[in-house]
Structure 1
Amino acid sequence: MRELPDGRLVVAFHGDDDRRRVFDISRLPLPGWHQPLAAAVAERTGPGGGLRTFSAATTGWGAQSRLVKFLASLPQPPTSPDQLTPDHLEAFHDHRANSTPTTALRDLGEARMLFTLTSLRDKVTAEVLDHVQRRLPTPRTPEPATAAPDAENPPASAKRLTSGYSDGELERLLAALRADAAKIRDRIRAGEDLLRRYRADPLALDERDQDLGRMLEQMAATGQVPTPAAVRPSPFCPERQELAGRLFLRLRDLSPLMLLQAALSERNGETIKELPVRHRVLEGRAVELVIVKRRRGARRWFETVTWEIGAPGRELHTPGGFYLLLLELTARSRQRCTSPLLWSVWRNGHGAGLGVADDHFAPFQDSLSCTSVLPTAWAANRSRPLLADPQPSTGAEGASPATAVPRLPLQVSFNRVKTSMEVRRTKRMGGHLPSAAKSNSMPVLFRNYLSGDPVITAWAEEVLGEALIDAEQAARQAHDRAVQAAGGGPRVLNGPVDTSALQDSGLSPAMAGKAAAGDLDTGWTACADHDRHPLTQEPCQVTFLDCFHCGNCLVTRDHLPRLLGLLDALAQRRRELAEDVWWVRYGPAWVAVRQDILAKFTPAELQQAQVDKPHDALLDLVENPWEMP
């Protein structure tokens, strides 16, 4: 913060992203606020403040300026910070919520940070400090639309997709990016090769190549693109654009190159825009550079990464090899603008309003948003436009193909590319988040990229389904092994429960009478011979859950209500335990009841048993207390 000779009070900003700006406090109303506000802005944007990039500082300055201008517009404005009241801040929030609701909370949050700084904290009342430190109000829910949007003419404010691409869409996108990047590479390398041959021996070239080589020589020496012969001179003639592309990267080339680098490196668009020139090649196999990863907190933005270079000719498939290729393609323009950033391009100076024919510049040197990169326009304007996957038809059955839903252009953005690569890496790691987390923490990876994404959701459902099938098969095999070892499994009587039917199942008359009277009942079934287990030939020592594998187990129609109650208890326990633990502990018994017992009764018998089903509490009693979840 300093006061200029002309009386203006300004704050000079130099961010961690090496971008600069001067905030003129004197241009704001309410002169009584200028001195403390300048000190607060200097503290907020200084080395220890939270606004340490050009975009963050500019956004914060905008919120602070809007607050002061609103206070000045009041009938009785607070002319100094000590006159500010909570009612003023409430009125400011209501004004912003009515005019621009999307930024109302952000402006109020910036006011909170501003008034809690040491420069302003002692100059406002305690009531104001208490007010700004309260929880911010909940965002208002937008009113539902009154009419359905027009599919052919969607509104300009329609929400852009942020989910990742399907596997087919991603493959088509990567193929298109590599194809366009290869065209750009071959175009510039062909121009460099012609320039080299022209410098070596102009007379060895035919007349057409000699003329083109002469113009390329002039471009390489001066950076200026001449108007080709036999072309009418014009500031915007397309022939100059085509000629410039033989040696220089152009603005229209940025979209495919930046998107491909984002996909290969699995980084977001902001990081790709700020890729540096400075790097180190490690034994010809990898390239090491320091990249910028924003929104990690103060002094945590820079990260050293190592990218694989790959085999010669594979530069379009590895992040390090493609980075070195980009250095090659941008080298000539970077010599003219001397930028420390990777991206340097040629542009028509007349089209940029510079008053000159040619300009070599770094498009993201001053700000990440100063140059528009339109990935969706690139995808739609290709000779073979990229299309999204066909949408499922919602028409009636038997509709003619002419009424099918048309395929829409693919929405391309850095966010969707980043999400897709995060999903692909997570799937490759088998869903293990600690291994899949690369440029973000596990909570950020799940919350911002994986949660709700249709591709990862479908994959997770498929994996879970396969895991459940594997677990059920393992339980089935465990049950079969137990049945073979314990006498062949339960005997099921699906008819009337009387002594003759029980004798027909192999019971002695005495045991059949006891079974018919219910004297042999155990937990959920009956036991034909408790004193001699089929496996040990000794008194039974197993739990009631193991009865379902035993040859002494007897199941009749009278046991159905208790068995259905047991299944409900197992279902409740399944919600309390991990799937793998539940299947190991209860899976064999569940399989035996579902497949070996209930399948032998009719639907009418099961429906009647459902009416008499008890609330099963026996499962808590048959297990040891330390085994309960």
Structure 2
Amino acid sequence: MIRRGRGSTGTGRRTALPDGTYAPTERVREGAGGTLVVAFHGDDGRRATFDVSTLPLPGWHQVLAAAFAERTGPAGGLRTLSAAGSGWGSLGRLMRFLGSLPQPPAVPGRLTPDHLTAFHAHRTATAPVTGYRDLADARVLFTLPALREHVSPEALDHLQRRLPAPRSATTSERGVVSAAAGAGRLTTGYSDGELARLMAALRADAAKIRDRIRAGEKLLRRYQHAPASLNEEDRELGRMLQMMAATGQVPTPPGARLNPFAPERVQLAGHLFLTLRDLPPLMLLAAALSERNGETIKELPVGHRLLEDRAVELVIVKRRRGARRWFETLTWEIGVPGRELHTPGGFYLLLLELTARSRQWCGSPLLWCVWRNGHGARLDVADNHLAPFENSLRGTPILPTAWAANRPRPLLAAPQGSAAALPLQVSFNRIKTSMEVRRTKRMGGHLPSAAKSNSMPVLFRNYLSGDPVITSWAEEVLGEALVDAEQAARQAHERAMQAAGGGPRVLHGPTDTTTSGNARPALETGWTACVDHDHHPLTGKQCQVSFLDCFHCGNCLVTRDHLPRVLALLDALAQRRHELPEEDWWARYGPTWVAIRQDILAKFTPAELEQAQAAKPGDALLDLVENPWETP
């Protein structure tokens, strides 16, 4: 195939095609000893074979192999090794259950809804969450063309029904999940103090690793160019470093025990290579700076592109997004020299530098390449350079909590009450949650702007909902908003009083009491009385305002007889507060609420309020004084 760059095709020019005839690889084939296997090559570059012959019920094998090959093929939904392994496990559990029945369905056509109901009941009794996933995987597999034609319509209809939801794990207020999801395991983010201490510890340990390897590289260069300038101890160390750089093998230091597990070899290897014990702080810091989850950090690639030495562009793996949506191109800021531990792009380039020696010997396209003691890994060699997550994301345990507890200065969680501080539980999930919370706070709680690597529903449901930091911040923001709304309502009430004659007047006599300068009795209104309905203080004309606006008017008269109705109105306003958004409620009813609380109730004694509370009517008549289209 010949291609000469972009724009090589166009009108009148043929599209470049591969030479020869393309023959796709058979994914279902016979293995050694006549077995039937399905070959898998995922989008993550990992390969595996799944032996269908190990499953019970041989009459199912051929169609199961074809269906599973379609499910894990290029157009299927299981395109990583971990996803294919999970699907294979669900299939194996179903087939082993069917094979254990007194009268198993020997071929797919004999599968009945009763078999599927019994399988669901069996899995629900033992593992509810896994049982739900097993039935969901079976539904997808059985509806594929390779298997659908061999299963009865009744069984297919049974699988298409809505699956019963699994029992969810209960979570306490402190974010501790019950035993169903791992007892004592925290899922919430860190407090501000915990996150600050964690980030300081990660940067401190990463700086030690960086300085250690750079010092070893510097000593190696000095030994290669001017060995005579070194003292005897450094010259001996330089000689061993040169041998390590040339062969990738770590010798036993002079004076160390002749023991394949000697810690002196690990210490010597650390002068040029990353070791397994270096992974926790480096990987956790990478997750914090990039704000990505642990799976993405484990699969960071070597391939990248520099953008004017200011940013790094690379393609990462973002799982659980659906078929053919696992890859994402992103750009990380490099930052100024010396700030590599504070920017994702600068830290990524630093990691490339620290892992370069081991990558030379293992040749992996992934970022994380380390040296390990071959004897400790029970290999036939003394030294082994490997990419620990190339074959499986679970191939090498990181144990971040053990790293935090075994540091010279262990990390402790924030104390709860009078209890002593406990070791800080560290995990990729908690770091990711903390970073999502902080970014959401920086964006002012605006989810469309805060959603970075997840959709808005996923961001809220899996990271923000229930987190104590975001809950406390939201309560603080809401409290400030309510204070601002109340202040605005008070200012609106004061402006209305100044324009309408100074606000209501409170008397302790009966309603028909005449006021000085006015021989006529006061006119009853909705909840108060009006001393001069024909002359509004602002316009001088007949009053046309709402009864709610009476509470700002100088003609408003309130006596002890009005108090029960005013209290009923206050209850009605409180009920409307549950029916309207806070912003709309304060704009419509806030000034009236302020006038009642501040200018009327404050002028009555507690005994008078208690007596009026017992006599207040059941209907406040609020609906009658508002236009019907304004009623919420």
TM-score normalised to the size of structure 1?
A: 0.92
Matches within 5 A, 1:25-64: 25-64=52-91
Cα–Cα, structure 1 residues 498 and 521, in superposed 2: closer, same or farther, change >3 Å? Answer: closer
1:510 aligned residue: 519
Q: How far apart are residue 577 of structure 1 and its match?
A: 1.6
Give yes or no for contact 1:507–1:528 (8 Å, CA) kept in 2: no
Asked if 1:603 is matched to 2:612, the reply is: no
Q: Distance in 2 between matches of 1:426 and 1:220?
A: 46
CA displacement, residues 569-592 of structure 1 (integer Å, 9 cap, x when unaligned): 212222222111211111111100
1:249 aligned residue: 274
Asked if 1:272 is matched to 2:297, the reply is: yes
1:321 aligned residue: 346
Match of 2:488 among 474, 493, 502: 474
Q: Distance in 1 between matches of 2:135 and 2:184?
A: 25
2:421 aligned residue: 407
Cα–Cα, structure 1 residues 362 and 49, in superposed 2: closer, same or farther, change >3 Å? Answer: same
Q: Which amino acid aligns with 1:205?
A: L
1:400 aligned residue: none
Q: Distance in 2 between matches of 1:29 and 1:485?
A: 89
Match of 2:158 among 97, 111, 131: 131
Structure 1 vs Structure 2 CA RMSD: 1.9
Cα–Cα, structure 1 residues 156 and 53, in superposed 2: closer, same or farther, change >3 Å? Answer: closer
Q: Which amino acid aligns with 2:402?
A: A
CA displacement, residues 66-86 of structure 1 (integer Å, 9 cap, x when unaligned): 222222222222211112222
Asked if 1:158 is matched to 2:183, the reply is: yes
Q: Which moved more, 1:77-86 or 1:456-465?
A: 77-86
Q: How far apart are residue 508 of structure 1 and its match?
A: 3.4
2:593 aligned residue: 590
Asked if 1:555 is matched to 2:572, the reply is: no
Q: Which amino acid aligns with 1:370?
A: G
Q: How far apart are residue 101 of structure 1 and its match?
A: 3.7
Q: How far apart are residue 60 of structure 1 and its match?
A: 0.6
Matches within 5 A, 1:72-471: 72-140=99-167, 157-393=182-418, 405-471=419-485
Q: Distance in 2 between matches of 1:226 and 1:172?
A: 38
Give yes or no for contact 1:330–1:343 (8 Å, CA) kept in 2: yes
Give yes or no for contact 2:216–2:271 (8 Å, CA) kept in 1: yes
Q: Which amino acid aligns with 1:117?
A: L
Q: How far apart are residue 509 of structure 1 and its match?
A: 5.7
Cα–Cα, structure 1 residues 376 and 30, in superposed 2: closer, same or farther, change >3 Å? Answer: same
Q: How far apart are residue 157 of structure 1 and its match?
A: 4.8
Q: Distance in 1 between matches of 2:394 and 2:32?
A: 33
Q: How far apart are residue 156 of structure 1 and its match?
A: 11
Give yes or no for contact 2:565–2:620 (8 Å, CA) kept in 1: no
Q: Distance in 1 between matches of 2:457 and 2:399?
A: 30
Q: Distance in 1 between matches of 2:409 and 2:89?
A: 43
1:581 aligned residue: 584
Q: Distance in 2 between matches of 1:141 and 1:82?
A: 35
Q: Distance in 2 between matches of 1:521 and 1:286?
A: 74
Q: Distance in 1 between matches of 2:124 and 2:623?
A: 56
Q: Distance in 1 between matches of 2:115 and 2:629?
A: 61
Q: How far apart are residue 563 of structure 1 and its match?
A: 1.1
Q: How far apart are residue 53 of structure 1 and its match?
A: 0.8
Q: Which moved more, 1:210-219 or 1:126-135?
A: 126-135
Report the secondary structure of 1:213's partner residue: helix
1:71 aligned residue: 98
1:567 aligned residue: 570
Q: Which moved more, 1:324-333 or 1:614-623?
A: 614-623
CA displacement, residues 427-470 of structure 1 (integer Å, 9 cap, x when unaligned): 11111111111111111100110011111111111110111011
Cα–Cα, structure 1 residues 99 and 156, in superposed 2: closer, same or farther, change >3 Å? Answer: closer
Report the secondary structure of 2:542's partner residue: coil
Q: Which amino acid aligns with 2:41?
A: H
Q: How far apart are residue 87 of structure 1 and its match?
A: 2.1
Report the secondary structure of 1:12's partner residue: strand
Cα–Cα, structure 1 residues 447 and 156, in superposed 2: closer, same or farther, change >3 Å? Answer: closer
CA displacement, residues 54-108 of structure 1 (integer Å, 9 cap, x when unaligned): 0010011111112222222222222111122222222222333334344222112
Q: Distance in 2 between matches of 1:366 and 1:464?
A: 49
Q: How far apart are residue 383 of structure 1 and its match?
A: 0.5
Report the secondary structure of 2:186's partner residue: coil
Q: Distance in 2 between matches of 1:287 and 1:307?
A: 5
Q: Distance in 1 between matches of 2:545 and 2:302?
A: 72
Q: How far apart are residue 5 of structure 1 and its match?
A: 6.7
Q: Which moved more, 1:608-617 or 1:208-217?
A: 608-617
Matches within 5 A, 1:475-490: 475-490=489-504
Q: Distance in 2 between matches of 1:85 and 1:111?
A: 14
Cα–Cα, structure 1 residues 143 and 439, in superposed 2: closer, same or farther, change >3 Å? Answer: closer
Report the secondary structure of 2:315's partner residue: strand
Q: Distance in 2 between matches of 1:130 and 1:490?
A: 71
CA displacement, residues 377-405 of structure 1 (integer Å, 9 cap, x when unaligned): 00000011000001123xxxxxxxxxxx2
Q: How far apart are residue 611 of structure 1 and its match?
A: 2.1
Moved over 6 A (4+): 141-144
Give yes or no for contact 1:496–1:557 (8 Å, CA) kept in 2: yes
Q: Distance in 1 between matches of 2:542 and 2:277?
A: 85
Q: Distance in 2 between matches of 1:417 and 1:220?
A: 36
Q: Which amino acid aligns with 2:614?
A: V
Q: Distance in 2 between matches of 1:476 and 1:406?
A: 47
Cα–Cα, structure 1 residues 498 and 78, in superposed 2: closer, same or farther, change >3 Å? Answer: closer
CA displacement, residues 116-164 of structure 1 (integer Å, 9 cap, x when unaligned): 11111111112211221222234357899xxxxxx9xx99951411001
CA displacement, residues 315-340 of structure 1 (integer Å, 9 cap, x when unaligned): 11111111111111111111111111
Report the secondary structure of 1:74's partner residue: coil
Asked if 1:537 is matched to 2:546, the reply is: no
Q: Distance in 2 between matches of 1:306 and 1:363?
A: 25
Give yes or no for contact 1:291–1:305 (8 Å, CA) kept in 2: yes
Q: Which amino acid aligns with 2:517?
A: S
Give yes or no for contact 2:40–2:49 (8 Å, CA) kept in 1: yes
Q: Which amino acid aligns with 1:36?
A: V
Give yes or no for contact 1:548–1:592 (8 Å, CA) kept in 2: yes
Asked if 1:624 is matched to 2:627, the reply is: yes
User: How many percent of aligned residue pairs carry the same amino acid?
Assistant: 76
Report the secondary structure of 1:510's partner residue: coil
CA displacement, residues 197-249 of structure 1 (integer Å, 9 cap, x when unaligned): 11110001111110111111111111111110011111110011111111111
Q: Which amino acid aligns with 2:420?
A: P
Q: Which moved more, 1:532-541 or 1:479-488?
A: 532-541
Give yes or no for contact 1:10–1:24 (8 Å, CA) kept in 2: yes
Asked if 1:21 is matched to 2:35, the reply is: no
Q: Which amino acid aligns with 1:433?
A: L
CA displacement, residues 355-388 of structure 1 (integer Å, 9 cap, x when unaligned): 2111110011011111111110000000110000
Q: Which amino acid aligns with 1:463?
A: V
Q: Which amino acid aligns with 2:95?
A: V
TM-score normalised to the size of structure 2?
A: 0.92
Q: Which amino acid aligns with 2:336?
A: A
Report the secondary structure of 2:122's partner residue: helix
The number of residue pairs the alignment matches comes to: 599
Report the secondary structure of 2:524's partner residue: coil
Q: Which amino acid aligns with 1:362?
A: A
Q: How far apart are residue 535 of structure 1 and its match?
A: 1.7
